[in-house]
A and B are shown apart, each in its own frame.
Chain A
Amino acid sequence: MSINIRILIFIVGLLIFIMILELVRKRKFREELSVIWLIIGVVIILSSFADLIIDPIARKLGIYYPPALVILILSFFLISAILYFSIVVSDLKTKNKELIQKIALMEYKLNQAYKKDEGA
């Protein structure tokens, strides 16, 4: 890997890492949800030196084109991240439904109470 590419990947990873930290600092991104993206940032930073470890491993696994292994590992992290967020959305959807139903039922009770007041 040429030194320029190493530097480029390193900077990209660092930028992602700093961007996430900044979003968390501004409270635009919840800490617990940001962790998985910080990990991805670190993985990208590390991948700028990855060939030193990856190349021997890839050769051992019988992969002719070592960068394919990098992409495989990155895909694994990205898919994990997406899956994690799908679970969060699913959970939110359930909670959202519960809230919406409660609101509808409470609004009914409130209207009944108003009507009673007006009648009395």
Chain B
Amino acid sequence: MKSYLIIIPAYNEENYIAKVLIDVKKATSYADVLVVSDGSNDNTVEIAKQMGVMILDIPCNIGYGGAVQTGFRFATEYGYDHVITIDGDAQHDPYSARNLIDMMSSEEADVVIGSRFLEGTYKMGIARKIGSWIFSVIARLYTKTRFTDPTSGFQLLNRRVFSYLSNADNYPLDYPDVNIIMALHKMKFKVVESPVKMLEKPGGKSIHSGLAPLFYVVRMFLAILMVLIRKEN
């Protein structure tokens, strides 16, 4: 067993998962690889099996956050020291994992978030952009650090953090955002950002569309409020 675990949450990613796994294996020979299939009903699991990686096959779809948390539980149980999360849709360049690791040791950080914006190669919708901007301002006021890409699924976490997040209520089922960064800051964990290269996703669909962005903004305000008023033990 290696000390790094790569967690790849995947929901119906049969088109990308093989490419992701080939790239990840090539780029990160220092790590074990775990695919967490979030109730996929296509061939994601079969393809991952053929690639000879470890697989957690969640029986129904519980959401991105739920899948990642299952990976955290796995890592906690099997005693890994560090976890790297990479999205299963081939939008992250696994060679950039090195940036995260270097940043963690130079900054003595507990969490490093891979940012798509520090190197400026990524676009998103206007509603999402405004929402993101507001949240990043709130997060900056609270943590005194600037986060350009808090929703990034490309992250490096040390054992203290992922074992904390693997507890039932400490991680959301849907999409972790600035609320998690703020919650970790509140717990005195050091969270920093590092640039990562993003690969252009062919025919990719955004996670937020239609009325969802508005709902998401309200939901995130609530989450942030809860971080601020909850008493943690």
Residue of A nearest to B63 (CB): A97
Number of B positions contacting A (CB below 8 A): 18
Number of A positions contacting B (CB below 8 A): 11
A104 to B59, CA, bound (A): 7
B56 touches A105 (CB 8 A): yes
The listed residue (B54, B59, B77, B169) touching A100 by CB distance below 8 A is: B59
Question: What residues of B have a CB within 8 angstroms of the CB of A94 in the complex?
Answer: 168-169
Nearest-Cβ distance from residue A99 to partner chain B, whole angstroms: 9
A104 touches B168 (CB 8 A): no
In the complex, A86 has a CB within 8 A of chain B: no
Question: What residues of B have a CB within 8 angstroms of the CB of A101 in the complex?
Answer: 58, 62, 66, 69-70, 73
In the complex, B229 has a CB within 8 A of chain A: no
Secondary structure of the B contact surface, majority rule:
mixed
A105 to B54, CA, bound (A): 11
In the complex, A65 has a CB within 8 A of chain B: no
A97 to B231, CA, bound (A): 24
Question: What residues of A have a CB within 8 angstroms of the CB of B77 in the complex?
Answer: 105
In the complex, A98 has a CB within 8 A of chain B: yes
Q: Contacts A107-B57, A108-B55, A108-B56 given: A100-B62 contact, CB under 8 Å?
A: yes
A112 to B58, CA, bound (A): 16
Within residues 91 to 114 of chain A, which ones have a CB less than 8 A from any CB in chain B? 93-94, 97-98, 100-101, 103-105, 107-108
Known: A93-B173, A104-B57. 20 other contacts (CB 8 A): A94-B168, A94-B169, A97-B62, A97-B66, A97-B173, A98-B168, A100-B59, A100-B62, A101-B58, A101-B69, A101-B70, A101-B73, A103-B58, A103-B59, A105-B56, A105-B70, A105-B77, A107-B57, A108-B55, A108-B74
Which residues of A line the B interface, CB within 8 A? 93-94, 97-98, 100-101, 103-105, 107-108
A-B contact pairs, 11 of them (CB 8 A): A98-B168, A100-B58, A100-B60, A100-B62, A101-B58, A101-B66, A103-B58, A104-B58, A104-B59, A105-B56, A105-B70
Which residues of B line the A interface, CB within 8 A? 36, 54-60, 62, 66, 69-70, 73-74, 77, 168-169, 173
